[in-house]
Amino acid sequence: MILAEKDRKSEEDALEKMAKMRHAIETIDLNIYYGDHHVIKGVNLAIPEKVVFAIMGPSGCGKSTMLRAFNRLLELNESTRVEGDVKVFGKSIFKMNPIEVRRTVGMVFQHPNPFPHMSIYDNVALGLKLNKLVKDRKELDRIVEWALRKAALWEEVENKLHKPASALSGGQQQRLCIARVVAMKPKVILMDEPTSNLDPISTKKIEELIYELKKELTVVIVTHSPAQAARVSDYVAFLYLGKLVEVGSTVDMFENPKEKLTEEYLTGRMG
Amino acid sequence: MVDSLKVRLFKEKLFLIGIAVLTISTVLPLFHIMFSIAANGIPVLLKGGWDFITGTLAPPGGGLGGIGPAIVGTFILTVLASLMGLPVAVLTGIYAAEYPNSLIGRATKTLLMVMMEFPTILVGLFVMDIVVLPMGSYSAIAGALSLAIVMMPYVAVYTDEALRNIPPKYREGAFALGLTRFKVVFRVLIGLARKGIMTGILIGIAKVAGETAPLLFTAGGATRVYFAGLNRPVGAIPLLIYQLVQQPYTNYHEIAWGASLLLMLIFLAIFLPIRLSLKEVKL
């Protein structure tokens, strides 16, 4: 009895705290359609700044689709339609230029996708160079090193910066992708199941990296693994069949899920 | 009744033998062509020596001379056709790949397919009408334009295919970095598709280096002058072979065999690297 009350209190506190924080990303009645298929159904979500926010749910629940709406990558596919609004730091992304959105909101993908025909250095430098974010070669060198250090990759590639990126292992390639995004100094990084193709050791490295990254920016990570959500995130949203079932602080939701669906998912009886 | 295993194994053997025989009969003509060109051409090249490549044509009935003007002409026509055709073709391929669902994109793709199979002599006629007649003379420019038109659909289709074969994750990755569509295509995707595009370019070049029909009414041909200007007629090896074979002189027929061998060698020199590079095309 007392315990339950205490739980409720801490939950309320957490939600209150969440509401007070500045929101990195906010969705308002977000609906997404693939042709006639209604994928995301009226999701209202507020993601606080400088936290790791996990979106979890079984495969096919629309997690990745929703994530791709946050940096307007979804519109590359002509058959998608987005209704409602997404705000990044209070500003509607649909009133911004998609390029501006993507510079603020970076992304790391499920399959490591460094450009295989470019060197490790060029992969990190590309966005900076093409977006004209650096003045000279010296500054570029500095930021590339800084980004590779942030991605905990510098020591491994220091001596082969000009070798092709395709020569790296899967885990290294994924960290290179993180370096590539970090170099652009985004305020939010979206990660779409970044470790689902990696071995446990590489996964651990990436997860440690995520923990480091949240000191400076917001990480929104999509995962189908509740265990990963529990390990890395501060807040978690549970998505099921395109609907937001439950959202809250990770500790609260894992210890005391409010919805029956969430409980079933967390205990492995579903998904 | 179920066939016994023996009968089925026998059927299989028969089937394999059948396929082998048909395969051989398909590729046999190719080897025969190559063999007869080599058998007739090698003696001519040996007899003519270096002069056969650099010299000008001998008079009817006497000696070999050389096919220098035709070799130079083929080179000039191919380079000019590439300069005219390749940029347009690559851009067209990019357009078709980038806007596959737009009306113009779909129409472009269909038209390219039609162009690939279009009778090349009609291209020659068209260029004669718009360039040769107004200029009043056969010319290198007219020949090159005709070849450029023949070359374009191959290069465009290969470019389109090469770009479409890039796994979407690279496209998405490039867009996610906040690059404009122009930069995504020209700084990332073209690089990824470079082998496929190069293959298309080489196939286009190999194709036009051996074309005769588009040149008949456009390039005119030249046997004694290497190059007199872009607005003057030029020779080309295939065109020369076509013209020589029609002449009633045995020495001209010999020269035609020699020219054929050279043309075949040039074709193989372009084509073999393509095959080898195709093997490498992996993403």
Across chain B, which distance is largest between two alpha carbons, in Å?
79
Please name the residue of chain A whose CA is at the shortest distance from the CA of residue B100.
A78
Q: Give pLDDT, residue B280.
A: 53
Q: Residue B274 — very low, low, confident or very high, per pLDDT cuts 50/70/90?
A: confident
Considering the domain architecture, whether residues B41 and B74 belong to the same structural domain is answered as no
Q: Give pLDDT, residue B273.
A: 78
Task: Name the nearest CA neighbour of B283 among B208, B189, B203, B217.
Answer: B189
Considering the domain architecture, whether residues B41 and B82 belong to the same structural domain is answered as no
Q: How far apart are CA A222 and CA A64, in angstroms?
A: 7
Q: Give pLDDT, residue B282.
A: 44
Residue B55 in domain: no
Q: Is B176 on the interface with A (CB under 8 A)?
A: yes
pLDDT in tens, A35-92: 899 999 999 999 999 999 999 998 888 999 999 999 999 999 888 999 999 999 999 9
Q: Give pLDDT, residue A2.
A: 52
Q: How far is CA B74 from the centre of its chain?
A: 12
Q: Give pLDDT, residue B101.
A: 87
pLDDT at B283 over 50: no
CATH of the domain at B173: 1.10.3720.10
Token pair belonging to B194: 């470079």
Considering the domain architecture, whether residues B144 and B196 belong to the same structural domain is answered as yes
Considering the domain architecture, whether residues B118 and B183 belong to the same structural domain is answered as yes
Q: How far is CA B252 from the centre of its chain?
A: 26
Token pair belonging to B88: 């347009």
What's the mean pLDDT in B1-11? 83
Best mutation target among B163, B177, B190, B281 (most A Cβ atoms within 10 Å) is: B177
Count Cβ atoms below 10 Å from residue B186 Cβ, excluding itself. 14
Least confident of B135-144, B153-162, B196-205: B196-205
Distance from CA of B105 to the nearest CA of A (A): 14
Residue B60 in domain: no
pLDDT above 90 covers a percentage of chain A that reads 77
Domains and CATH numbers, chain A: 2-266 (3.40.50.300)
Task: Name the nearest CA neighbour of A33 among A73, A76, A93, A82.
Answer: A82
Q: Give pLDDT, residue A14.
A: 67
CB B163, CB B96: distance < 8 Å: no
Considering the domain architecture, whether residues B257 and B120 belong to the same structural domain is answered as yes
Considering the domain architecture, whether residues B150 and B37 belong to the same structural domain is answered as no
pLDDT in tens, A162-197: 999 999 999 999 999 999 999 999 999 999 999 998
Chain B residue numbers touching A73 (CB-CB < 8 A): 172, 175-176
3-state class (DSSP) for residue A108: strand
Considering the domain architecture, whether residues B135 and B185 belong to the same structural domain is answered as yes
Considering the domain architecture, whether residues B83 and B175 belong to the same structural domain is answered as yes
Instruction: Spell out the residues 6+ positions from residue A236 whose beta carbon is closer than 8 angstroms to its own.
Output: A53, A54, A55, A56, A229, A247, A248, A249, A250, A253, A254
* This model's pTM is above 0.90: no
Q: Residue B60 — very low, low, confident or very high, per pLDDT cuts 50/70/90?
A: confident
Element (H, E) at A222: strand A218-223
Q: Is B94 exposed, middle or buried (0-12, 13-18, 19+ CB in 10 A)?
A: buried
Residue B21 in domain: yes
| Cβ pairs A/B, distance under 8 A | 65
Q: Which residue has the higher pLDDT, A17 or B229?
A: B229
pLDDT at A271 over 60: no
Residue B62 in domain: no
CB A234, CB A218: distance < 8 Å: no
pLDDT at B281 over 60: no
Considering the domain architecture, whether residues B216 and B154 belong to the same structural domain is answered as yes
Q: Residue A133 — very low, low, confident or very high, per pLDDT cuts 50/70/90?
A: confident
Token pair belonging to A22: 């500045």
Q: Which domain does B27 fall in, by range?
A: 5-48
3-state class (DSSP) for residue A42: strand
Distance from CA of A82 to the nearest CA of B (A): 18
Considering the domain architecture, whether residues B160 and B211 belong to the same structural domain is answered as yes
Q: Give pLDDT, residue A78.
A: 86
- Which residue in the set A99, A111, A127 is minimally distant from B169, CB to CB? A111
Considering the domain architecture, whether residues B25 and B95 belong to the same structural domain is answered as no
Query: How many domains, in total, are found in chain B?
Result: 2
Chain B residue numbers touching A101 (CB-CB < 8 A): 178
Q: Give pLDDT, residue A267.
A: 85
Q: How far apart are CA A104 and CA A187, in angstroms?
A: 5
Q: How far apart are CA B129 and CA B152, in angstroms?
A: 20
What's the mean pLDDT in A106-124? 95
What's the mean pLDDT in B89-118? 93
Residue B268 in domain: yes
